A and B are shown apart, each in its own frame.
Chain A
Amino acid sequence: MSDKEEEPRIGVFVCSCGSNIGGLIDVKALAEFSKTLPNVVFTEDNLYTCSETGLAQIKNGIKDHNLNRVIVASCTPRTHEPLFRDCVKKEGVNEYLFNFVNIRDQNTWCHQKYPEEAFDKAKDLIRMGVAKAAKLEALENIIVDATPTALVIGGGVSGMTAAHSLANQGFETHLIERETELGGRLKTLYKLFPNDQEAQILLENLKKNVQSNENLKIHTSAQVKNIEGFVGNFEVKVEENGNIIDLTIGVILVAVGTSLFTPTGYFGYDGKTRITQYELESKLKNNDVKARDIVMIQCVGSRNNERLYCSSVCCMTALKNALILKENNPETNVSILFRDLYTPGTHYEDYYRRAREAGVVFVEYSPEKMPSVEENLIKVHNEYLGEDLLIPYDLCVLSTPLVSNNDNKALAQMIKVPLEENGFFLEAHVKLRPMDFATDGVFVCGSAKWPVDITESISQGYAAAARASTIISHDTIEVEGATSFLPDYNRNLCTGCEVCIKVCPYKAINKNEEDDIEITQVLCKGCGVCGATCINHAIIIRHFTDQQILSEIYAYGGKEV
């Protein structure tokens, strides 16, 4: 590479980030300081380097001063590195010759009370960044072919919706359902809130959609057994009715839904006169409710120490079942004991009002004074009255949370994605990447991620389909070039100990037929674990070579290299 011989000409752009950085430390002084560092030929401070104005300043800097290395000292590479890399690339500088120095998240934010020390630390960080920049090497991204096919795991509402949308967009789509029939949770439901539509009519419509699309292949009684490969090129083994089929898949969507919680030990649950909302649902479906005094208790097994979260669908489910009971027989007494009624938005709040108008009685309880279910009476403390209410019942219905599936963990390991503390799938970014995983080419929708109702399951099904489509709409995929590799000149250093194979979290390292270590570049995320564990330093981590990291350490200690 010619860049190696080329004298480094470094430009340093110091960002004020509004007042996030500039409010604590003097960014002008930092820019001036940067001028004194080796190989730095141009520096500038910006109010927001990431703004179109800031980016224009970088471009002009590159053009006017013939920069071949660019440093931005600002927020965090987590959100902003792609933007700056793209910017320098468009000006003809290899994107890997850009170096990010984090002086906000790891400096002004965490040392808010120590402006002087933060200023000194920013100087250290920039000095280190400049030293590394001088040693950076140009790299190329890796381009691989993408197979325009999708695999949707789970044939419930969300999965069917996603699969249908992808098939409608023209992609060959495989829908995997473990059970003999499509439908998931929807199969067991009677009517749906907030418009009391028959669940089975919605289910039939969804099924008709997926069954009539020729791009869509439905695999029922099927389970994913193994997944190898990477974005655009997953090799998936599916067991369908006992037969193994092999699929080459571009993108994978996780739509495995949730499990039900059995409230054993809560309020004397017995499945007879003390049942769950889901058991009530099937009784309603079979027109099998004889009870006249019905009391529902919300948040049974949720919003407690064991399970902190709100399951978000139970309040509406209770309201809907209460209204059905009232409509079937207006003489039926229905009381709902609740903590915070969860009916957000327009339609659900309207529905809550409808339930109150229909005569459903709402009684608030506090977790400090839990209701108690006795032989024929339910005792609940009412804070407003300051006394206990005794409500007669012949059917007590417990609103239990949706919980994560026990086998989420196995699937998560197979597709190399994380779960959160309650066992639900954890997306790449809670706010702005709700359907993506950090692993490329894998997406999530519906209650697999967090309990959601049918409406959200449908919109998320579409959403995951869109995200997946952004990948398989192209013939090729570009992935990060900063990977680990074992150069031929280091092969004699490799003792074949296989420690790197064991530590690689992405299963990117294998031994080939000749018993040599082989690193699949496109699977490697450049995390560096293999390089750090290799006792003979045979493996090199591109963009984080020993030489580059040592240069930073020497710069920190004040040693010239």
Chain B
Amino acid sequence: MGENSKSVVVIGAGIAGIQAALDLGDMGIQVHLVEKMPCIGGRMAQLDKTFPTLDCSICILAPKLSECYRHDNITLYTLSEIQKIGGSVGNFSVDVLKHARYVKEDVCTNCGDCATICPVRGITNFFEANLVTQTAAQIAFPAAVPAAYRIDPSKCLYLNYEICGLCYQNCGADAIDFTQKDSVLSLDNVGAIIVATGLDLAEDIHTLNIYGYQKCDNVVTAMELERLICASGPQAGHLSRLTDGKHPKKIAFLQCIDSRSQKGQMYCSSVCCMYTTKEAMIAYEHDNELESYVFYIDMRAGGKGFQKFLQRGAKEYNIKYVKSKISHIEVDKDDNPIITYEDYETSEINQLTVDLVVLATCIIPSRGINKLADVLGIDLDHYDFVKTNPFLPVETSIEGIYTCGCAREPMDIPRSVAEASGAAARAAEVIKGG
């Protein structure tokens, strides 16, 4: 096969965007992989382990991150967003706005001296689900790709007031560069575009407060728990309560928080039943005396090996599945959450006091999707996911623009990976078929 002169732009470098980029790159097609965050990996990088194999998430993801970075046919644009597109299928032009990192990507050795010396403390840390804070010199996680720090321009004293500059003075590699500017790169000859912008999580404070969140630190979201039990997370994988440091012996997992709800989102987030079981399993591996209670509406486990996974959870990991939707949570004087539920079998109203509550919050479209949809001109559905036809699952409303993964509907990793390859095939048809 000859050289392909046309390239593909992939928007979003989570597991879906990465898979699409790698497939296209491996076909010999030039790929521009555009990611708004300072590093690639998306949500999967935040997870501790993955169901149903309990593989360590970052361990199976990290080789793919490196492969993307080192691939001859993939160009990575981090801290970047799509500003404008023109043209049509087979011949788009795309303007990418690349924000300054203020750190030379290829010079930074990832030593962390800048973060240690930076005096600006207390900045929210998205990657660690805001459980810990960070300085203005930031990297999401040690294995991040690219392996370079970034100076947060909204917080940095030098960039805002031209004072400080400690990182610049102390960087042994001379990697800090305050002269960097945001720049616009114009990509021509783009044959196809793939939208793989993934998900965000609902954080409706009103709903969360009903479930005791923020009132009591022993109520956490599922993403917070992922970081709490993760060996590379803020507690180094030793699960303990944020209020008193005690090991929880009883955890309640509440399903469908803000999903399948008239008040929140009407749809089902698809993955919570499974990741909840996974989280309960990992928590049990930390402490074999742990009892877990999963309060659910319908247990949705249709994927490969999923029913077996649930059965293992019940048999080997002390997980009790209770069919009951919880309406609210109270907290006792020792910060222990109290759950009131209806026992399905006896029809009695019972109370259960637990050490920790985990809320399975709803998957929502990526928060930047409306703006991106405007730029690209693609339609969104009534929930703001990218609109697709059930029988053209990776096509958007515009020919030559494809989509995959949670950008179009909540789904798990294998399905996101499969759809990403699917979107890559459609893009390859444009490039190779001419």
Contacts and interface: CB of A to CB of B under 8 A. Distances in A.
Interface of A: 17-20, 23, 47-48, 50-53, 55-56, 75, 79-80, 82-83, 86, 148, 165, 168-170, 192-195, 197, 202, 303, 308-312, 340-350, 353, 383-384, 386, 420, 424, 429-435, 449-451, 454-456, 458-467, 469-470, 473-475
B418 A435 contact: yes
A83 B63 contact: yes
Interface centre among A18, A197, A341, A350 (most CB of B within 10 A): A18
A56 B146 CA distance: 12
B307 A308 contact: yes
Interface string B256-271: 0000100000111010
B79 interface: no
Given A169-B433, A431-B60, A460-B418, A23 B267 contact: no
B236 A346 contact: no
B393 A467 contact: no
Interface in B62-84: 62-64, 66-67, 69-70
A300 B333 CA distance: 48
Interface centre among A353, A386, A454, A467 (most CB of B within 10 A): A467
Given A19-B231, A20-B56, A432-B60, A168 B147 contact: no
B410 interface: yes
Nearest to B270: A344
B200 interface: no
B303 interface: yes
Interface string B1-14: 10000000000000
Contacts of B23: 466-467, 469-470
Interface in B1-56: 1, 15, 19, 23, 26-28, 50, 52-53, 55-56
B421 A463 contact: yes
A56 to B, nearest CB: 7
Interface in B259-295: 260, 266-268, 270
Contacts of A168: 429, 432-433
Given A79-B59, A431-B55, A195 B390 contact: yes
Interface centre among A86, A342, A459, A461 (most CB of B within 10 A): A459
Contact of B391 (A47, A48, A197, A342): A197
Contacts of B64: 432
Given A344-B300, A349-B266, A383-B347, 18 more contacts: A20-B59, A23-B231, A23-B236, A51-B66, A53-B142, A79-B60, A83-B67, A312-B303, A345-B270, A347-B390, A349-B260, A424-B304, A429-B60, A431-B50, A432-B61, A432-B414, A462-B394, A473-B28
A169 B428 contact: yes
Nearest to A81: B63
Contact of A52 (B66, B311, B389, B419): B66
Contacts of A48: 62, 142-143
B69 A52 contact: yes
Nearest to A460: B418
Given A431-B60, A432-B60, A348 B268 contact: yes
Contact of B303 (A202, A450, A475): A450
A363 to B, nearest CB: 14
Contacts of A454: 390-391
A451 B110 CA distance: 45
Contacts of B421: 435, 462-464, 466-467
B323 to A, nearest CB: 8
B26 to A, nearest CB: 4
B237 interface: yes
A18 B143 CA distance: 9
A29 B23 CA distance: 41
B422 interface: yes
B345 interface: yes
Interface of B: 1, 15, 19, 23, 26-28, 50, 52-53, 55-56, 58-64, 66-67, 69-70, 109-110, 142-147, 231-232, 236-237, 260, 266-268, 270, 298-308, 311, 344-345, 347, 381, 383, 385, 389-394, 404, 409-411, 413-415, 417-426, 428-429, 432-433
A431 B413 contact: yes
Contacts of A345: 267-268, 270, 409-411
Top 8 closest pairs, chain A to chain B, by CB: A312-B302, A462-B422, A52-B147, A18-B232, A463-B421, A466-B425, A470-B26, A340-B298
B28 A474 contact: yes
A346 B385 contact: yes
A449 to B, nearest CB: 7
A530 to B, nearest CB: 30
A340 B300 contact: yes
11 contacts: A17-B59, A20-B231, A23-B237, A50-B62, A51-B62, A170-B433, A340-B301, A350-B266, A430-B53, A456-B418, A463-B421
Nearest to A21: B231
Nearest to B286: A112
Contacts of B381: 346
A20 to B, nearest CB: 5
A53 B231 contact: no
A231 to B, nearest CB: 14
Contacts of B428: 165, 169, 466, 469
A247 B399 CA distance: 35
A313 to B, nearest CB: 8
Given A18-B231, A430-B52, A148 B1 contact: yes
Contacts of B28: 473-474
Contact of A434 (B300, B345, B410, B417): B417
B410 A346 contact: yes
A305 to B, nearest CB: 10
A50 B307 CA distance: 34
Contact of A449 (B266, B304, B306): B304
A310 B307 contact: yes
Contact of B232 (A19, A197, A344, A473): A19
A384 B109 CA distance: 62
B36 to A, nearest CB: 20
Contacts of B142: 18, 47-48, 51, 53
Nearest to A201: B391
Nearest to A368: B345
B393 A455 contact: yes
Contact of B414 (A170, A202, A346, A434): A434
Given A455-B390, A475-B1, A52 B110 contact: yes
Nearest to B259: A349
Contacts of B306: 309-310
A465 B62 CA distance: 25
Nearest to A385: B347
A37 B175 CA distance: 36
A53 B411 contact: no
A23 B236 CA distance: 8
B404 to A, nearest CB: 8
Contacts of A431: 50, 53, 55, 60, 413-414, 417
Contact of A19 (B236, B305, B425): B236
Contacts of A86: 70
Given A430-B305, A435-B421, A346 B267 contact: yes
Interface centre among A53, A344, A458 (most CB of B within 10 A): A344
Given A23-B236, A347-B409, A434-B417, A50 B345 contact: no
Contacts of B61: 432
Given A52-B147, A383-B345, A463-B418, A169 B432 contact: yes
A75 B70 CA distance: 21
B26 A308 contact: no
Contacts of A18: 58, 142-143, 231-232
Interface centre among B59, B144, B267 (most CB of A within 10 A): B59
A301 to B, nearest CB: 14
Contacts of A430: 52-53, 304-305, 414
B422 A463 contact: yes
A20 B236 CA distance: 9
